[in-house]
Structure 1
Amino acid sequence: MTAAPYGTWASPIDAATAASHDGSPADLAAFGDDLWWTAPRPAEGGRRALIRRRPDGTEECPLPAPWNVRNRVMEYGGTPWGGALVDGEPLVVFTHHADQRLYAFHPDRPGARPYPLTPVSTVGGGLRWAQPAVHAGRGEVWAVLEEFTGDGPADLRRLHTAIPLDGSAADDRAAIREMGPVAHRFVTALRPSPDGRQAVWIGWDHPRMPWDGTELRCADLLGDGTLGPARTLIGGPEESVVQADWTPDGTLLAATDRTGWWNLHRVDPATGEAVNLRPREEEYAGPLWKLGQRWFAPLDDGTVAVLHGVGAQRLAVLDPATGQLTDAPGRWTEWSSTLAATGSRVVGLAASARSAHEIVELDTATGHTRVVGNAHRDAVDPGYLPEPQARVFTGPGGREVHAHVYPPRHIDHPVDGPAPYAIWVHGGPTSRTSMVYDLEIAYFTSRGIGVAEVNYGGSTGYGRAYRNRLREQWGVVDVEDSVAVAEGLVAEGAADPARLAIRGGSAGGWTSAAALTTTSTFACGAISYPILDLAGWSPAGGETHDFEAWYLESLIGPHLEVPERYRDRSPVHHSEQVTVPFLLLQGLDDPICPPVQCDRFLAALAGRDLPHAYLAFPGESHGFRRLDTLVTCLEAELSLYGQVFGFTPPGVPVLDLTP
């Protein structure tokens, strides 16, 4: 190995390679003998494709471009498709992103094409559908409808609906049956009991987010296909129920954090009595950002496939009768919140620091696991990949700060002295970053730039108390924890104090910008689709979507009571305190963090001799999906680091940093 300046290491991981591996499969389901899921296609305009795996292991995409299996319910989307065997052949229903309509498709019929089941509405954001479920015996699809009633982002309602499978509602909203009254601002899909007599769902209302407080609701299913009077079984303002489901024998299970941790409970649908099946200070669920996330799946033999852990979650089988928990074998260290169960088999999405997300099947009868789809293949020699470490740093007041550290690593060059480091801040902020194979991280580490991902106070995976650290402290605790990780790396000699960067998108973009306006720790920042003006993002400002419109009530405080706090913490009002170069990246079609926030921040900087760059992308929304956009952003960020840290990255266009 030969020493070379950090940042100049030649890497086989170019931006196109990293970008082409962006995203992971999702929305797993099994019916018949086939397994289905959606997969990202950055090179096809960022669409999500529907993938079918047949019993012989062959994979196919029955819906070619431009079909895009994705919806915009709550803007982050929900499960976009469902399927069933009808008269021995598969029937798939799905939402198409371009028009948000629900379509039906018979993939095994020669020459068959998708046909619409729902109409288009020109009112506001139109009609949007999530968690479609085929009920062939009734000739219907049941789904959650998000229906706009006006042009404003809050002019909408969400409800349970039944859509005819024959297409008779394709141009007729009146033909879609509303299954019950609108009782909550937000609802998950109905989960009917095995005997078809009742159904459960989860509901919640502003100003709470689903990780703050929800209610598990139950109602009888009447003969006319509507819901009887509903009752709350468990939940409330300070209890978060995020998933409920029935076992084959009719037992109701729910994941709730009433103990301070999301544990799995058996719930009596008559009385609401809840019994913790395995009381542990670990999480058996996570934050409900998208309708249809699944952290547990009942199996035919009475056991339950569960995800569990502190921080990272792994797959296990829980015996409710004994509380025994048996972990699935294998090299995977992180499982995603999408599980499908059929017979004695459970299928999930799993990854590790050395393997990207794969479709993995556990046969609970034999205890064996195997990869059945999206098998990992090394895109580069593993010698160019970082060797990550799960770390706990010390923050202000001695509090624990969880992080993942990815030191620089190259097959030909040693780590020689303190290295440049980029502190990565995840979005959410009520979320978590996972320590998994990520070529975007390796794009930097293989060039001599370390990366540290911070699961700051407020992140999920560590119990409700850790999550609640961010209540009314957003822009304070997250910044302090990010600084603590950076300073911890400096103190131990891993990071160069003069070459520290911070980067993040969405809520991570907020923390990055807040850090540049309140600390002197970082020499530059890369900020993507951020929140920069809290007043605009408040209920009164109306600059974001309905799902998060009241989020700041808990993150910052009641906006009518502490308006000065909204101004004091907003980077847009402290632009004069930014003294280091930065890169700002924004999708022009973003309804969550709209471009006006960036416009306002840049206007406040006008006239200052501060190097910066602003790249805006037409057609991109919240979170970039297109290959060319992803490539541009990675190369721009690397060029920023080169100009600030004093190296010239080979083969990368120079980013124009102009005042």
Structure 2
Amino acid sequence: MSTATLAPAATVHHRLSAAFTTDGTRLACLAAHTDGRCTAELWNLTGPAPQRTELRAAHEAETPRTQVLPLPDGRLLLCRSTPGRHDLRTATPGDHRTRPLGTLYHPAVRLLPWPGPEGLAALVTTDSRRRSTLRLLAGPGPDLQTLAELPGGLLGGDWLDPHRLLALHYTDGTAHGIVVETRTGRAEPLPGAEPGERPLLAAPRTGQLLVAVPTATGSHRLGLRPLDGHTPTRHPEGLNSLPGGIRPLAFDPTGTRLAVRSDRGAAARILVHRLDTDTATELPAPPGTFGDRAHWTRTGLHLLHSSPERPTAPLRLPAAPEAAPVAGVRQLAGADGPLEAVVYGDPGTAEHAVLALHGGPETAWRLEYDPLLAEFAAAGLAVLALNQRGSTGYGPAHRDAIRQDWGGPDLADVLTVGHRLARERAARGLEPPALYGISYGAWLALLAGTDPHAPWSRCAAVAPFRSVPHLAATGAPGVRAMLHRLGAPAEPAAERDLHRRADRIRVPLLLLHGEQDEVVPVAHSRELHAHLRDLGRDVHYREIPGAGHHPVTGPSGPAVRAALTDFLRTGAH
């Protein structure tokens, strides 16, 4: 074990080997000093300005061959390479030590960020037979899990979701794009790719790929197409007519805008290209040059900048996401009378739409800020947040319609509105709406998913319970008192027990539950997931460590909201 100390101020003339975490909150790089030394740096990008921690191990030195990678837990992963040998070590800010993880003996090793909670980082190793292996560094020890093995070289790496890696595969002197499925180890060519097409960037929330396609003159044209391969690549004229040498950098969080670097003469500019209008505007930025890598988060565009006044360093350019669709209130016809809903955008005409069900049931959606619904809307999901019977704010008759009858009038309203919305969207050639619910709304959403003509593309349920009587039997005394006060049915009803109706569910499901849920015990989701899996249903389950009944807020909130948004929009999980 070696000792590390925070380095004193030093003259840095260049920064290289920059790598972001998958969420863009941290950046790691090597700092090259004027005296020839290299040191590892970790930058926190979450504050008003980037904050640097420089780590220098005693009696050790980094070289330009060292790879650095910020880890999700706040540490730094180092890969110190010499020909045929690669030493893996970690450094923790404030710990003053680096710790060995192990040594790999391969011609080449490359570090990649890991997007999910199952591990810390991914590594691509290449052996003497020119075979590439994708491996997972799963924990604090040196154990590596093999995910996929491929002949030839594997370059690039853009995560489409926590289990699919978009990469460039080299075999026999040619290169083509592939998608590696890490759960099965299978690698498939990009569907519908043109000859010579190379993937550059992916926008997971829209399913868009940015590709480079060779031309007869030896140059390349930029193209956009969905990942599904059913739609041919389009080559936007405006994007391909931008001035200067163009380097694509990053999609915005909604996947509707693209940041590109335009090199022309001695300086560079940052342009933002809108995909829907094929137009670009220049982003105000200080004069200078910019690096090849960037990450666009909701706080702005993060990239490396250099100018005559300062060496290369992280810079954040304010670049707010496109304004979300205007929210409003809409009157709807329910199963037995008028209903009201809060809507974002137009669920009947938008490319993607979700019908959202609140918890409670003694509550309602209001025309106010809701971080989850706002994130749905910003990602291009039109939202219909329904106040079905049982919701508050519409008088005693509306509120009390479900007393002793949960899953009766309320479910009828959900199905009536859902079927009508699905027909409206089908007439325009659009997929059915997705369905989302939390707590009571999650139970109601899953019940709606058992309808024989379920009008849903997919369903996400956060903290669902099996049935009302089962919740009363397993919940804390306060939960039982709440159920009694709200008039929940005390006797079991087979048609409203999710375990008894699970065989009727045909739509893809995502279940999420906080490990420390104090209202609905996490066992409800665990048992439901196991039962659905045994039935062969398309179900995915995520348990949120340390989270309570509302995992969409609090420390787990950003990751949970992103997972819900991605699944409801595209089915990614």
Q: TM-score, normalised by structure 1?
A: 0.36
> Which structure has the larger Rg?
2
